Amino acid sequence: MEGIPLKRIEKVADMAQAARRLASEGKSIGFVPTMGFLHEGHLALAAEARKENDVVIMSIFVNPAQFGPGEDFEGYPRDLERDAELAEKAGVDLLFHPSSEEMYPEDSDIRILPGRQAGVLCGASRPGHFDGVLKVLTKLFHLARPERAYFGQKDAQQLAIIETFVRDYNFPLEIRRVPTVREKDGLAKSSRNVRLTAQERRQAPSIYEALREGARVLRETGDAELALGTVGHSLGSIPGAETDYAEILEYPSLFPLSSESREAIIAAAVRFSGARLIDNILIPLKGKPGHVYQRSRRPSCPAR
């Protein structure tokens, strides 16, 4: 279908019908769920989907179910026409952009709970957030019927929870990890970066620098406590920024690190005046004989 003009769909029933038709034609579907205001990270997901599938479906839906009280649902950046143009250039065939009323026509008290993985990192301070993520993805997966769905590693906790959910509940699709897309100075691409002041934008790459230094210490010493202290010290030196958390955990379980762990995540969330930024690094641990990987006994770095 490459080269065919982008088709836009707003209605749930129309999306379901289109997916059924594609399935009946034997077309493989790659699915890229987003909340819009597209940047290079989203387009990298679309590019991967384009390589591996006959049809690429992208959704743009700012999901109210994953925003808690006081969070920025109304202020979340939106520009549908710009997004549609970018999606078409990236090779997306079908853009699904429903309204909140279309996705959630009735209140429902049925909940999908993500378990222990949601109790750390961003989930620790955002109760119910990942409930809302799994709620909307369940609906989107049923509607789009993809063989593969694409998620960026920047949202590593979300990715881990989705991988576990799809595995445990036998969803008939594969989850594809796509590496974090970064600016030239290392800052992870994010829709929220536009909210940084000029000074904050200059300071924000220090988050990735801190994570890289922590990863170096972990690889060289095997001492998670020392590595976490390194990250916390570096983040604490960013002027005007507050560290929501910094943590080292096993990945993708998000359990405490142990000597049996084979992959770790170093993750942090840092709050500036107008934006809360997250970033992480995944670190293979296999092949480090003699190193005893252990989770720090200190609490996550407190806000400054």
Convert the pLDDT of each residue in 67-94 to its tens digit.
988 787 888 889 999 999 999 999 999 9
pLDDT over 60 at 223, yes or no: yes
40 annotated binding-site participant: yes
- Give the tokens for residue 251: 């990945």
Q: So what's the pLDDT on residue 303?
A: 34
Q: Which of 42, 129, 233, 291 is catalytic?
A: 42
Convert the pLDDT of each residue in 239-250 to its tens digit.
989 999 999 999
155 annotated binding-site participant: yes
154 annotated binding-site participant: yes
d(CA 203, CA 197): 10
pTM listed for this prediction: 0.88
Q: So what's the pLDDT on residue 95?
A: 98
Q: So what's the pLDDT on residue 299?
A: 36
Domains of the chain listed by start with CATH number: 7-178 (3.40.50.620), 191-284 (3.30.1300.10)
73 annotated binding-site participant: no
100 annotated binding-site participant: no
Pair 77, 37: CB distance under 8 Å: yes
Contacts with 153 (C-beta within 8 Å, 6 or more apart), sequence order: 159, 177, 178, 179, 180, 280, 282
Distance from CA of residue 243 to its chain's centroid?
19
Catalytic annotation present for 291: no
